[in-house]
Amino acid sequence: MLKKRIIFTLLFDNGSFMLSRNFRLQKVGNISWLQKNYNFSNVAFFIDELVVLDVSRGQRDLEAFLAALTEISTGCFAPIAAGGGVDSVVHAKQLLRAGADKVVLNSALFEQPHLVQEIASEFGQQCVVGSVDLKANGGGYDIMVNNGMRKLNMPPSEALAWHMRGDVGEIYLNCIDRDGTGQGYDLDILDILPTDWNLPVIIAGGVGNAKHFAAGLAEPRIDAVATAHLFNFVGNGLMNARRALVREGLHLAEWPDIRAVDLGRAG
């Protein structure tokens, strides 16, 4: 049985890291603030993967994003997936050269499927994470693209079926209605998946504490749980959450104690 994963997501907007609530952004701090509060050489012992997304609403500063990604990846032992506005194979290559192990594609999944295929062909299917933003519509869910501003006029299961053909390695499902609320995951969004869905699923949107992680990890259709809420897990929050989940018997990888690693380095 494969181990399940805990993923931490960072949102970047032209030089600053952000909090998001229902896709409305609030500035938190720059790369110096982030490194002060989240030393990712340490945080990497308590997460299985890091996702870094450029969610800029206006003109994207790619150089600033690549510089931040490079700094974050230095000394971070956890795999990193990065994306946001990826519009070419060259753009994807820049992310990988800046320290990413995977490329996250969102609007391109539905608006530029041939680009998705090109990136998968160039770097491998396992290198592509498909990010899907969902919003409740009263009787189901709509896929939202362009930073959640436009509804995709296609049923979600039909839109996602295309990507079971081998161009995406896993899917990141984010609930806009729960985003940043701390109310827990909306597990009903899993019902939008085609019945024969066979790719790993990451769920995001709504985490407020470790119990919400546990609820997601207990769902058989979920392979990984993600949070982008910087303040809920500041300090030792991620360490304490992971240890609590392991004590509860959830099927997570157990990494070496960071203190033992530091002692090994000192020796």
The catalytic residue positions are 133
**Phi-psi region at 77: left, alpha or beta (left = phi > 0; alpha = psi -120 to 50):** alpha
Biggest alpha carbon–alpha carbon distance for the chain = 60
The tokens for 8 are 């931490």
Helix axes 62-73 and 89-97, enclosed angle (nearest 10): 40
Residues 6 or more apart whose Cβ sits within 8 Å of residue 139: none
* Segment 21-27 long-range contacts (CB within 8 Å, at least 24 positions apart): 21/179, 21/180, 21/181, 22/176, 22/177, 22/179, 22/180, 22/181, 23/133, 23/147, 23/148, 23/176, 23/179, 25/55, 25/57
The tokens for 19 are 């909090």
- The dihedral built from the CA positions of residue 87, 88, 93 and 94, taken in this order, carries a sign that is negative
DSSP reduced 3-state for 80: strand
Q: What does each C-alpha distance from 215 to 108, 154, 207, 211 come to in angstroms? A: 30, 30, 10, 6
Give the separation between CA 207 and CA 227, rounded to whole angstroms.
Answer: 6
Give the separation between CA 109 and CA 160, rounded to whole angstroms.
Answer: 9
